[in-house]
Amino acid sequence: MADLNQAQQDKLDAAAFRRLLSHLDNRKDVQNIELMILADFCRNCLGDWYREAAEAEGVDMSKDEARERVYGMPYAEWKDKYQTEATPEQMAAFKARRPHNA
């Protein structure tokens, strides 16, 4: 790997994160349950991680503020516009993948 200083690494990390958010924004058809089944994280997880990073830097941020950064709009609005009900098959796959959440 290239020998990066911390500022370069931070810049690249931030660019990759922005690209991930853009990609997820362009794929609103991909539901959070599908992300959880396949990758064990979802948009809400990203929001939680973003809020935790903010707090580690001494920035007070609510869960809703962090989710708005990830979703590009208030979470309730995204949920109303794009979230569908999880199917019984999706719930079964989720429980099979994460039996401790059953």
**pLDDT tens per residue across all 102 residues of the chain:** 689 999 999 999 999 999 999 999 999 999 999 999 999 999 999 999 999 999 999 999 999 999 999 999 999 999 999 999 999 999 999 999 865 544
The domain ranges of the chain are 6-101
79 CB burial (10 A radius; 0-12, 13-18, 19+): middle
Secondary structure (DSSP) of 56-88: HTT----HHHHHHHHHSS-HHHHHHHH--PPPH
41-65 b/e (C-beta count within 10 Å ≥ 16 → b): ebbbebbbebbeebeeeeeebeeee
Measured between alpha carbons, how far is 83 from 16 in angstroms, rounded to an integer? 25
| H helix count then E strand count, the chain | 6, 0
Domain 6-101: what homologous superfamily? SMc04008-like (1.10.3340.10)
The pLDDT value recorded for residue 102 is: 43
Query: pTM score, two decimals?
Result: 0.87
